Each structure stands twice: as C-alpha cells, then as structure tokens.
Amino acid sequence: MLAPSSLPSPLPSTAAPSFDVRPVVSSRTVATPLVSFQGVQKTYDGVHLVVRQLDLDIQRGEFLTLLGPSGSGKTTTLMMLAGFESPTSGEILLDGKPITRTPPHKRQFGMVFQNYALFPHLTVGQNVAYPLTVRKVTKDEQARRVAKALAMVRLTGMGERLPSQLSGGQQQRVALARALVFEPQLVLMDEPLGALDKQLREHMQIELKELHRQLGVTFVFVTHDQGEALTMSDRVAVFNDGVIQQLAAVDDMYERPSNRFVAGFIGDSTVVTGTLESGDAMRLPDGRLLAGVNVNGAKIGSAVEACVRPERILVRPGGSGGNTLQARVDGVIYHGDHLRLLCTLGDGRTGASVKLPLADGVPPQAGQTVTLEFPPALTRIYSL
C-alpha cells in the first residue's frame, strides 16, 4: 500500500470535469450508519485515482445503489467494501469499527455476482448451503436454513436440481439465496441482473425490492442502468470520475439533479443553451427569456444550459405565453403507454423530446407547429 505522502494529489482544476463535483447529500439521513467510508482513495498505478476522497455513510436497512458509467469508481468502491480490494488511503468502518484490513471471509457479507458464481457440480441445495458448511453449521440447522432461503426466493422443491437445469432467473435466485442463507447484515450485489433479458430483469427488480422490504437487510447494489437504480433504491449515489456527484433519495435525484452530469445521466432531458440574464432566467440565442431554477449558482452573463424532463413539458396547440418556445413536430413515436414527440425548436438546431400520456386526446402530427411550455419550477439551469 502506498504511504500517505506518496498519494497523488487530486487532479488540478484544469483537468477536472466542467460540472460541479461537490456531492449533494439528501437530508433523509439516519444517525449511526452501518458502514462509513472516511477519506477513502484508491489508485492502481500510484498516479491516477480511481476513487477520490470518498466519504460515504450507508444506513442500516437501506437499499443503496452505486450508479455510474464504466470506470466511474462504483465497482471499485463495492470491491473495497467486500474486502477484495484495499483502499490506498482512508478507512472503512462497520458499526464504527475499522474493517479496512479485515479479510473478506471475516466480514460476513453476502455477495451476489453478475455471473452467479454457482458451483456446477453441486445441487441447488448444496450451493445454498455452502456458506453454512464453511462456517461449520450443523447438518440439521443447514437443512432448516436452506429450506427457508429457497422459500424466500420461490425455489422450494428445487434443491436437488443442478444449476444447469435452471433458467437464468432461477440461477440468480439461487445466488441470492446463498447470499442470504447465513443471515448477513449486509448484502453486496455487483450488476446481478446484467445477464438477464429485459422482461426477466424487470421482474427480478420488483422481486429484489420486495425481498429487501420483507427482510430489512442492508443492500448495496452496483449498476450502470439508470432505470434499475430508480426502480429499486431508497438512495442512489451517482459516480463519475471517482467522485460521488450526488447522493440522494430517488425522487430527489430525478427531480432535482445537482449538476449537469447527473441531469444528463439520470433519465432523459431536453436541453436548451443560452446566457444567464438574471438569478433565475436565461436568454436564448434568439433573444427570448426562459425562467428556471439556478441549481449551482451560475453567475449572470455566464453560459448555461436548461434541462427539462420530457414528461414535464406541456404542449399547447398554438399561441405563446410565459416560458414557452415554438417547435416543429418532426415525428411521433408510439411507446404503448405513452407517445414521444420528437421536435425541433424555433432556432432550427435544438431538438426537444416530449412525453405525452395516451389519454391526452388527439396528439400533434408530424409537420405541425406547437407551443412547448417549460414550467419554471421544473426547469433546471446549470452553468457550463
């Protein structure tokens, strides 16, 4: 491990991302976290920090998702918590006690991997019982706990089958049962649904969330899928470039992203550029004003972007008014539960995406001109 004096300093401001990297922590916090990362850094080559100065509390019983693009530091963070990687500096605490140098098998955490990691030559029951076997639990107690774990994941009666005789979703349930069978206080999951098809993946998301609700065990889940994170989590930590960009409850994360990266990574947005005219309004290139919420303190005269979720934009058949822009409908896409309008704003360059419920009557048609209203309270303005 590198000595603290040999650690690389944080990247200079000229190499830092253009967005605000200060984490915004939700006010929905609980005292005495189960896990606490304190000043944790990780580098593999002594030069580049994969994880930079991580301070993160994981609350008891919560479903926390670590979300971000490839190389953002989320999986490295999970591996350090599991004990498979060691921090270059900083401490990881469990119940207030350091576990930074505790080997993985002594941390007593359940672990679920993307590839399931089942033993192909062992039956389902034997796979689930494996953590109990290495802990020298009696045979009778093993049988009781295995039966209970298989019932939790709806695999009762399948204990004698081999993994090769199961579907992908069933194998994932076996892996989950194995992680829960020794009643850990923390379950770590590294992209566990990544190998499943879309329909099964969505079904397993609901099952995992319900199982978490029933058990009250702390889940830490890694994914790069934004929809998955929003569906399952109590809180989400969005990583990029080794830094948590925002840590918040899912509704706060979606409705009030703290910077331009989070706004673009979580869900869809229509983005309009301009110059900040006043504390809460920007002037567009065509001279029109658009009001919104100045999220990260952009200064008057600076270049800014306004982001609005597609379902928050209101469509007016014509005319003009406050916080509205003219747009041409280029296409209408049917999604089953809603329609998506693909539009071009009046400048002829900026695209806009609008989500319409099917119950909204006769939708606009391609080629039609419409008025798009951007509600000021839902229009987020970010500095560039």
CATH, domain range 270-383? 2.40.50.140
Looking at the predicted structure, is the pLDDT value of residue 8 above 90?
no
What is the average pLDDT value for the chain, to the nearest integer? 88
Confirm if 281 and 291 have CB atoms less than 8 A apart: yes
Q: Which residues of 231-245 are buried (b: 16+ CB within 10 A; e: fewer)?
A: ebbbbbbbbbbbbbb
The 3-class SS string of the chain reads: CCCHHHCCCCCCCCCCCCCCCCCCECCCCCCCCCEEEEEEEEECCCCCEEEEEEEEEECCCCEEEEECCCCCCHHHHHHHHHCCCCCCEEEEEECCEECCCCCHHHCCCEEECCCCCCCCCCCHHHHHHHHHHHCCCCHHHHHHHHHHHHHHCCCCCCCCCCHHHCCHHHHHHHHHHHHHCCCCCEEEEECCCCCCCHHHHHHHHHHHHHHHHHHCCEEEEEECCHHHHHHHCCEEEEEECCEEEEEEEHHHHHHCCCCHHHHHHCCCCEEEEEEEEECCEEECCCCCEEECEECCCCCCCCEEEEEECHHHCEEECCCCCCCEEEEEEEEEEECCCEEEEEEEECCCCCEEEEEEEHHHCCCCCCCCEEEEECCHHHCEEEEC
Looking at the predicted structure, is the pLDDT value of residue 158 above 50?
yes
* Predicted pLDDT at 196: 80
* Predicted pLDDT at 14: 33
* Predicted pLDDT at 346: 85
252 vs 258: CA distance, rounded Å? 9
pLDDT band at 116 (very low <50, low <70, confident <90, very high): confident
Looking at the predicted structure, is the pLDDT value of residue 18 above 60?
no
What are the beta bridge partners of residue 239?
Answer: 244
* Predicted pLDDT at 26: 46
* Predicted pLDDT at 317: 66
* Predicted pLDDT at 319: 63
The 3-class SS string of 309-339 reads: CHHHCEEECCCCCCCEEEEEEEEEEECCCEE
* Predicted pLDDT at 97: 94
126 vs 314: CA distance, rounded Å? 57
Least confident residue range of 29-33, 88-92, 131-135, 326-330: 29-33
* Predicted pLDDT at 169: 87
Looking at the predicted structure, is the pLDDT value of residue 374 above 70?
yes
Q: Which amino acid is at 285?
A: P
In this predicted model, what pLDDT tens digit does every residue of 213-243 receive, in sequence order? Answer: 999 999 999 999 999 999 999 999 999 999 9
Least confident residue range of 92-106, 109-123, 167-181, 315-329: 315-329
Region 245-273: what's the mean pLDDT?
93
Looking at the predicted structure, is the pLDDT value of residue 70 above 60?
yes
Least confident residue range of 303-307, 327-331, 361-365: 361-365
Least confident residue range of 91-105, 294-308, 358-372: 358-372
Q: Which amino acid is at 119?
A: F
Looking at the predicted structure, is the pLDDT value of residue 10 above 60?
no
* Predicted pLDDT at 113: 86
Q: What are the extents of the domains in the chain?
A: 4-11+18-109+184-260, 270-383
Residue 375, class by beta-carbon neighbours within 10 Å (0-12 exposed, 13-18 middle, 19+ buried)? Answer: middle
In this predicted model, what pLDDT tens digit does every residue of 274-322 receive, in sequence order? Answer: 999 998 999 998 888 999 999 989 999 999 999 999 999 999 866 666 7
CATH, domain range 4-11+18-109+184-260? 3.40.50.300
pTM comes to: 0.84
